[in-house]
Amino acid sequence: MTDFDTPIARRGTGSLKWDKRPELNPLWVADMDFVSPPEVIEAIRSRVDHGVFGYAQAHPSLVETLQSYLQNRIGYSAPEEEIVHLGGLVPALSLAARAFGKAGDKVLTCTPVYPPFLGIHHDAAMELLTVDHVDSGGKWTFDWQALEDKVTPDTKIFVLSNPQNPMGRVFAEDEITQLATFCEKHDLILLSDEIHCDLILDEEKTPHFSALNLSEALRDRTITLLAPSKTYNIAGLGYAFAVIPNDSIRRRFTAARGHTLPEINCIAYYAAEAAYKHGEPWRQDLLAYLRTNRDLLTSTIRERIPGAKVPQIEATYLAWIDCTALQIENPIRAVEDAGLYLSDGAFFGHPRCVRMNFGTQTERLKSALDTFCPVVGS
């Protein structure tokens, strides 16, 4: 088994997570406190030993590895031309807005959601439309009537997070199909961010249904965004990719890039290849560890803060904690005063909520919960 228990000293390394607010104990940004798979580290070392770091492109074995990953993981056979290499998913979100929207057009998404979803419209002078997810039988899903009421003729893009960040929901086949049908009805591009799809905690119970698994007609209006960054803890290397089946959509997407995106660094290509090719045993060990942490967090908060709401976390290493029913007016300020650095729910579209990153050592998580619970539950 992989050792995830040993703490890694990260302060003073230029870490956004640890060094932005060094006076606080950080459990915020989606960055785990674990060493990446040894095969990834070895691939990086091997590439560094070459000693030349010029402009790079995706090498053939990386493309083959991505195609194998897509086939084995998602069940989709992707021709090479459908794969678009990217220096990260957030730039890709912005790129899509610029490719398919113009001033005055609308972007539609559901909240709470990953904060960049709520800002990409600015890059294309578009407008943002949001609809809250709703609790249906203990699971957060889409409010279909509210979406119909909110969408307008000048809405061009629906941005989806699946698995959902921050709520950890893995949307089922019927939900994704209904959403894609909604997009077809209203002539929307379905931009599906699936960066957390390899972090599903019980893949037999809640299998990932990708936008790439839709029928050919529905899939034809999709852009699926993927990356090894969250799963294998290599976000700082900046590699992601899109799969875009429709040639016209793919051409518009790539044409909008212009000269605004940086080159992908040569090391990132090799790290991504190693992660997908050799990282599966490490990933399975990670999922087992995250399940333990997930169960610890949810049981602790539900027992010690009965009024707080934590959804059933089906994926990711991120816990959404709704403090609306509690007496505490400003939970994020209270936890910061107590020495914790969490993500503020306001940035996800829902104030009085917080997001806690449990992708850390179990003992450290226990300590953080011992700080969090009395402060928020008092």
Rounded to whole angstroms, how far apart are CA atoms 24 and 340?
5
The pLDDT, as a whole number, for residue 169 is 98
Other beta carbons within 10 Å of 130: 16
Rounded to whole angstroms, how far apart are CA atoms 201 and 154?
38
pLDDT in tens, the chain (378 residues): 899 999 999 999 999 999 999 999 999 999 999 999 999 999 999 999 999 999 999 999 999 999 999 999 999 999 999 999 999 999 999 999 999 999 999 999 999 999 999 999 999 999 999 999 999 888 899 999 999 999 999 999 999 999 999 999 999 999 999 999 999 999 999 999 999 999 999 999 999 999 999 999 999 999 999 999 999 999 999 999 999 999 999 999 999 988 888 899 999 999 999 999 999 999 999 999 999 999 999 999 999 999 999 999 999 999 999 999 998 999 999 999 999 999 999 999 999 999 999 999 999 999 999 999 999 987
Query: Which overall architecture, per CATH, does domain 43-277 show?
Result: 3-Layer(aba) Sandwich (3.40)
Task: Using the CB atoms, write b or e for 81-102: b if 16+ within 10 Å.
Answer: ebbbbbbbbbbbbbbbbbbbbe
The pLDDT, as a whole number, for residue 326 is 95
The pLDDT, as a whole number, for residue 287 is 98
DSSP states along 46-80: HHHHH---------HHHHHHHHHHIIIII-----G
Angle between helices 60-69 and 266-278 (to 10 degrees): 40
The one-letter code for the residue type at 309 is K
Task: Using the CB atoms, write b or e for 137-170: b if 16+ within 10 Å.
Answer: eebbbbeeeebeeebeeebbbbbbbbbbbbbbbb
The pLDDT, as a whole number, for residue 41 is 98
Indicate the domain borders of the chain: 16-31+280-377, 43-277
Rounded to whole angstroms, how far apart are CA atoms 112 and 132?
7
The pLDDT, as a whole number, for residue 378 is 74
30: left (phi over 0), alpha (psi -120 to 50) or beta: beta
> What phi, psi does 202 have (nearest 5°)?
-140, 90
The domain covering 16-31+280-377 belongs, at the CATH homologous superfamily level, to Aspartate Aminotransferase, domain 1 (3.90.1150.10)
The pLDDT, as a whole number, for residue 262 is 86
Tokens of 1: 């088994």
Q: Name the strand (E) or helix (H) holding 25.
A: strand 25-26
Diameter over CA atoms, the chain: 59
Rounded to whole angstroms, how far apart are CA atoms 105 and 123?
12
163: left (phi over 0), alpha (psi -120 to 50) or beta: beta
Rounded to whole angstroms, how far apart are CA atoms 331 and 278?
41
In 3D, which of 294, 321, 306 has the Cα closest to residue 377?
Answer: 306
Rounded to whole angstroms, how far apart are CA atoms 113 and 161?
7
DSSP states along 96-113: HHHHH--TT-EEEEEES-
Strand ranges for the chain from DSSP E: 25-26, 83-86, 106-111, 127-132, 134-136, 139-141, 155-161, 189-193, 222-226, 240-243, 318-322, 340-341, 343-344, 353-357
Rounded to whole angstroms, how far apart are CA atoms 3 and 139?
33
Look up residue 133 and give its DSSP letter: -
Rounded to whole angstroms, how far apart are CA atoms 241 and 66?
9
